[in-house]
Amino acid sequence: MCGILAVLGCSDDSQAKRVRVLELSRRLKHRGPDWSGLYQHGDCYLAHQRLAIIDPASGDQPLYNEDETIVVTVNGEIYNHEQLRESLTGHKFKTGSDCDVIAHLYEEHGENFIDMLDGMFSFVLLDTRDNTYIAARDAIGITSLYIGWGLDGSVWISSELKGLNDDCEHFEVFPPGHLYSSKTGGFRRWYNPPWFSEAIPSTPYDPLVLRHAFEDAVIKRLMTDVPFGVLLSGGLDSSLVAAITSRHLSSTKAAKQWGAQLHSFCVGLEGSPDLKAAREVADYLGTVHHEFTFTVQDGIDAIEDVIYHIETYDVTTIRASTPMFLMSRKIKSLGVKMVISGEGSDEIFGGYLYFHKAPNKEELHRETCRKIKALHQYDCLRANKSTSAWGLEARVPFLDKEFINVAMSIDPEAKMINMDEKRIEKWILRRAFDDEDHPYLPKHILYRQKEQFSDGVGYSWIDGLKAHAELHVTDKMMLNAAHIFPFNTPVTKEAYYYRMIFERFFPQNSAKLTVPGGASIACSTEKAIEWDASWSKNLDPSGRAALGVHNDAYKQQKVASIAAAAGNLATSLIDDVPRTMDIQAPGVVIRG
């Protein structure tokens, strides 16, 4: 991932303004530590912080067309860039960068080329011939992007809040699948797939069609000129990513450069479910496995850094981002610059445990549509910013445009959970990769129950966070929560604690409006809480909150004991878990 910042039409072309843009761009340097670039044309500035993945030697940005009248700053990967280059006959490319095609596509097609891009991206393009510009974000919002407006009439575009929050009168999330054009002064949605209307599809389930679509999505993401690996929790999604990558790696350009043995990475508290499951999958696939452990105290100590980088106060996002943030730092220290991850599967297939209570296929399908549309505020935001904090890129094949089209066209009856027929959550994905002759995974891994990332790293992680918040947020503070935080009022001490930290970093009113709110049970949308009357009394985003569904569901007395004995719990959790990190994997021993 790179970092982009554009300041457009700011009515100030002074040296002082250039220095200010450079200063703000440096706030994004963690995203792209490999090179910096700044282009100025009158009162328009395009800045770039590069993480070099494709063509590290010559792909520095901003990028240009042949006569340099069209200028682009891009964050992302265009997986079909070679096919696009072939279609752009008569064009000369200055670099081998995958993003080099964007300026030339604009020359050929004007603003109507975005849907031709197969990848994840955020970009700003300036046409100096008429001083117009466009900005666009990928279909699902895998890459982060914000837009702001200055009092002087300027428009600001930034990969992160911190690039524009101090200089804009108002700013907001740049919506996924949209284009912003200076010619109209507004947005239009370029991404219009059939599922977006939430109409109920009827295509019969074909396991081989689904399998081939996902294999294609993984294979195209093996495009890299730098060392890479896979994030492996041992759950279904990451294990399938690892299995497919391992199966196809040897035939890629990356294997010729960096070797055909796949590296895998996992994080968790000592003895956590994910560590055990990931180790088993890694052994089965023969990956070079790197296992990172952290303590509850390690995670708590990182919370402020996590909130600064992730730019949210959403409870479940912070819970899950912290282990990923810690792991990303370790991965980058090993010289790896890109990882492939399993985000998006649960939203597409109804994989969260609360989907056990979906009343019918229509409601299940609408909920999956709502979840996919909201991904940019939750799991995409986590995966993008947790890794980018350390100059690491995360690719997510489940959010491939073509794969989503295939998966979301299936009759949702096939996604319904039916325990009488032994059809657990994500059954159609499991069945698609249940190959007796050439197994992708062991059966018990292929049919392992869903674990949310914040749970799978170790249950005491969430309990420790709750206990820590109990020590720092008083009952008196909670009584005034609605007056202090009238928007998205925190209803738990953990939420209040995160909100205090967030508002210290991002005090502007616009900042708090970029974070979603609403009640949730086990990561549901607010609408899905209607599926079970008991859920409204047990609102918690943890997967264990799905009482009667999760194998290790909360006991009611355990919930009560956390609230009643927070002080003792915090002490015991922190003291019982080793304070040092002792990471051992083939060829690497790291102590921290």
Q: Give the separation between CA 320 and CA 301, rounded to whole angstroms.
A: 15
Alpha helices in 7-80 (DSSP H): 15-26
Tell me, what DSSP letter sits at residue 555?
Answer: P
- What is the distance of C-alpha 92 from the center of its chain? 34
The amino acid occupying position 105 is: L
**Set 2, 10, 99, 523: catalytic member:** 2
- How many Å is the maximal CA-CA distance in the chain? 72
- DSSP annotation string for 196-248: GG-PPP-BPP-HHHHHHHHHHHHHHTT--SS-EEEE--SSHHHHHHHHHHHHH
Q: Which amino acid is at 373?
A: K
Q: What is the CA radius of gyration of the chain?
A: 23
Q: Which amino acid is at 316?
A: T
Neighbours of 20 (CB within 10 A): 17
Copy the structure tokens of residue 582. Answer: 């002792």
Q: Determine whether 205 is exposed, middle or buried from the number of CB atoms within 10 Å of its CB (0-12, 13-18, 19+).
A: middle
Specify binding-site residues for L-glutamine: 98
Q: Is 64 helix (H, G, I), strand (E, B) or coil?
A: strand
What residues form the annotated binding site? Answer: 98, 231, 267, 341-342
DSSP state of 391: T
Coil, strand or helix at 62: coil
C-alpha distances out from residue 392 to 228, 331, 458, Å: 10, 8, 24
Long-range contacts of 537-544 (CB under 8 A, 24+ apart): 539/491, 541/315, 541/316, 541/319, 542/316, 542/319, 542/452, 542/454, 542/455, 542/462, 543/352, 543/353, 543/450, 543/451, 543/452, 543/455, 544/455, 544/459
Annotated binding site for ATP: 231, 267, 341-342
Q: How many CB atoms lie within 10 A of CB 23?
A: 9
Give catalytic status of residue 2 as yes or no: yes
Quickly list H helices, 29-100: 81-87
Cα torsion at 268, 270, 271, 272 (round to 10°)? Answer: -20
Question: CA neighbours within 13 Å on the CB side: how many for 540?
Answer: 21
Q: Residues with Cβ < 8 Å from 426, sequence gap 6 or more?
A: 236, 345, 346, 349, 350, 351, 415, 450
Angle subtended at Cα 122 by Cα 121 and Cα 125, rounded to the nearest 5 degrees: 120
- Known catalytic residues? 2
